Amino acid sequence: MKAKKSRVVLSSVSVLLVLSLLAGMTMAWFTDTEKVNANFTAGVLDISVKPGETDVTDLTFENLRPMLYDNFYKELEPNGNEKWVNDVTQDKTTDLDDEDYAPVPAYFKPVTITNEGTLPTKVKLSLEIAQDYACKEGEKQFVAEDLANGTMTASQPDSPICENKLEKVLKVFVYKQVGETWTKVEDVNLNTAYDEAKANPDEAASGNTAKETNNTYMTTMLPAHGTATYVIAGYLPETVDNAYQGKHYHSKLVLNAYQMDDTDAGVPDEGGSSSTDPEEAVAINSEEDLKKIGQNMDGDFVLNDDITLTSDWTPLGMDGDSTKPFTGTFDGQGHTISGLNVSKSDKISVGLFAVNSGTIQDVNIVAEEILGSSSVGAVAGSNEAAGTLLNVHVTAEGVRGQSNVGGLVGTNRGNVSRCSADTTVTVTATQGVGGFAGDNSGVIEESWAVTGINVDQQQSTNLDVGGFVGSNQNSGTIRNCYVIARDTIAGLFNVGGFASLNQYGSTIENCYAVTTDKIQCSDTVSAGVAVNENGTIKNCYAVSTAAVGSGEFQKVEESALKGTLPQGFDASVWTAAEGEYPQLANNPQA
Rounded Cα distance, 543 and 497, in Å: 9
Q: Which of 265, 298, 325 is the last residue of a domain?
A: 265
* pLDDT: which is higher, 163 or 567: 567
Residues 109, 28 share a domain:
yes
pLDDT in tens, 315-337: 999 988 889 999 999 999 899 99
At 412, the amino acid letter reads N
Give 86's strand partners. 76
Residues 357, 474 share a domain:
yes
Residues 445, 298 share a domain:
yes
At 101, the amino acid letter reads Y
Residue 157 confidence (pLDDT): 44
Residue 403's contacts (CB-CB under 8 Å, 6 or more residues apart) are 373, 374, 375, 427, 429, 430, 431, 432, 438
Count of positions (residues) in the chain: 590
144 burial type by CB count under 10 A (0-12 exposed, 13-18 middle, 19+ buried): exposed
Residues 317, 443 share a domain:
yes
Residue 181's contacts (CB-CB under 8 Å, 6 or more residues apart) are none
Q: Which of 207, 234, 265 is the last residue of a domain?
A: 265
Q: Which domain CATH number covers 376?
A: 2.160.20.110
* Count of domains forming the chain: 2
Structural domain includes residue 573: yes
At 293, the pLDDT band (50, 70, 90 cuts) reads very high
Please state the rounded mean pLDDT for residues 226-236: 86
Check whether 117 has a pLDDT greater than 60. Answer: yes
Structural domain includes residue 278: no
Structural domain includes residue 347: yes
Structural domain includes residue 1: no
Residues 301, 247 share a domain:
no
* pLDDT: which is higher, 267 or 72: 72
Residues 414, 385 share a domain:
yes
* pLDDT: which is higher, 103 or 29: 103
Which range is most confident: 4-18, 352-366, 441-455, 546-560?
352-366
At 548, the pLDDT band (50, 70, 90 cuts) reads low
Q: Indicate if the alpha-carbon torsion angle 231, 123, 19, 162 is positive or negative.
A: positive
List the 374-376 sheet strands across, edge first.
348-350, 374-376, 403-406, 433-434, 465-466, 495-496, 525-526
Structural domain includes residue 272: no
Domain that holds residue 442: 283-584
Which range is most confident: 143-157, 169-183, 472-486?
472-486
Query: Distance of alpha carbon 48 from its chain centroid, rounded?
Result: 15
Check whether 52 has a pLDDT greater than 50. Answer: yes
Kindly compute the dihedral angle of the four CA atoms of residues 176, 108, 274, 222, in this order, to the nearest 10 degrees.
Answer: 50
Residue 338 confidence (pLDDT): 97
Rounded Cα distance, 211 and 365, in Å: 41
Structural domain includes residue 59: yes
Residues 261, 292 share a domain:
no
Rounded Cα distance, 345 and 241, in Å: 64
Do the strands 437-440 and 409-412 form a parallel or antiparallel pair, or are they unpaired? parallel
Check whether 123 has a pLDDT greater than 60. Answer: yes
Q: What is the DSSP letter of 188?
A: B
Structural domain includes residue 271: no
Please state the rounded mean pLDDT for residues 27-48: 35
Q: How many other C-beta atoms can be found within 10 angstroms of the C-beta atom of residue 452?
A: 17
Kindly compute the dihedral angle of the four CA atoms of residues 216, 217, 218, 222, in this order, to the nearest 10 degrees.
Answer: -130
The answer to whether 549 and 530 are in contact (CB under 8 A) is: yes
The answer to whether 328 and 297 are in contact (CB under 8 A) is: yes
Rounded Cα distance, 381 and 326, in Å: 12
pLDDT in tens, 374-428: 999 999 999 999 899 999 999 998 899 989 999 999 999 999 999 999 998 776 6
Rounded Cα distance, 371 and 351, in Å: 8
| Whole-structure pTM value | 0.60
Structural domain includes residue 20: yes
